[in-house]
Structure 1
Amino acid sequence: MIYELRVYECLPGRLPALFKRFNDHTLALWDKHGIRQAGFFTTMVGESSNRLTYFIAWESLAEREVKWKAFVTDPAWLKVRDESESDGPILANITNQLLAPTAFSSVK
């Protein structure tokens, strides 16, 4: 397994719109494409409370390449993304890392 760590920094006041998009649309589209989330988090203490951090679990880099490409080019996703930003952009920045568990990790 590999894990993708994604951090979305929202524009001021736009975190609720991002939550709504994930809750109402994105997760169902991920199910459609076989994308498995491994947890979503907000920042309680730290640099920014305007941030959504989450993990996606992948069997391999090849699986990620195929499934992520299918998701980001899905016309249903493009429509949802555009509609959710009809009153302005949601995100200021996105970062991601692909992580491999160590031999001593409780997560494999």
Structure 2
Amino acid sequence: MIHEWREYTIAPGKSADLHKRFEEVTEPLFKKHGIKALGYWNVVVGENPKLVYLCEFEDLSHRERAWASFFSDPEWIAGRAASEKNGPLTLKVVNSILSPTKYSAIQ
């Protein structure tokens, strides 16, 4: 297994819109395309407003296929466009691919 940590710096005044998009559009499409999100968090202390989440994939090939099918899905393209009709919801997206150590509780 590999994991992907994603951090979204939220545009000013767009937090509710981003969370609505994740709940109503993104998360259902993640399930459709085999992207397993293990959890979502708001940053409470530190740089914020920020939404972070952790995804799990079988391997890098699975990750590449899943993201490619997600990003090309017409539902995603339409949902993203509708949610950003008044401007982008994020200022910056950072992601990291993680490989567990042998002593990690999550493998």
TM-score range, shorter chain: over 0.9
Residues in 1 aligned to 2:37 and 2:69: alpha-carbon distance in whole angstroms: 16
Secondary structure of 1:18 counterpart: helix
Q: Which runs of 4+ in 1 moved over 4 A?
A: none
Residues in 2 aligned to 1:92 and 1:44: alpha-carbon distance in whole angstroms: 18
1:18 to 2:37 alignment: no
Partner of 1:28: 28
Displacement of 1:76 in angstroms is 0.8
Displacement of 1:15 in angstroms is 1.1
Give CA deviations for 1:16-69 in whole Å, capped at 9, x if unaligned. Answer: 111000001111111111110011011111122x10000100010000011110
1:71-82 superposed matches below 5 A: 71-82=70-81
- Structure 2 gap ranges (5+): none
1:6 to 2:6 alignment: yes
1:45 to 2:69 alignment: no
1:87 to 2:92 alignment: no
TM-score (norm 2): 0.97
Q: How many pairs were matched up?
A: 107
Residues in 1 aligned to 2:18 and 2:31: alpha-carbon distance in whole angstroms: 18
Secondary structure of 2:86 counterpart: coil
Letter in 1 for 2:43: T
Residues in 1 aligned to 2:2 and 2:15: alpha-carbon distance in whole angstroms: 27
Residues in 2 aligned to 1:101 and 1:37: alpha-carbon distance in whole angstroms: 16
Partner of 2:53: 54
Secondary structure of 2:105 counterpart: coil
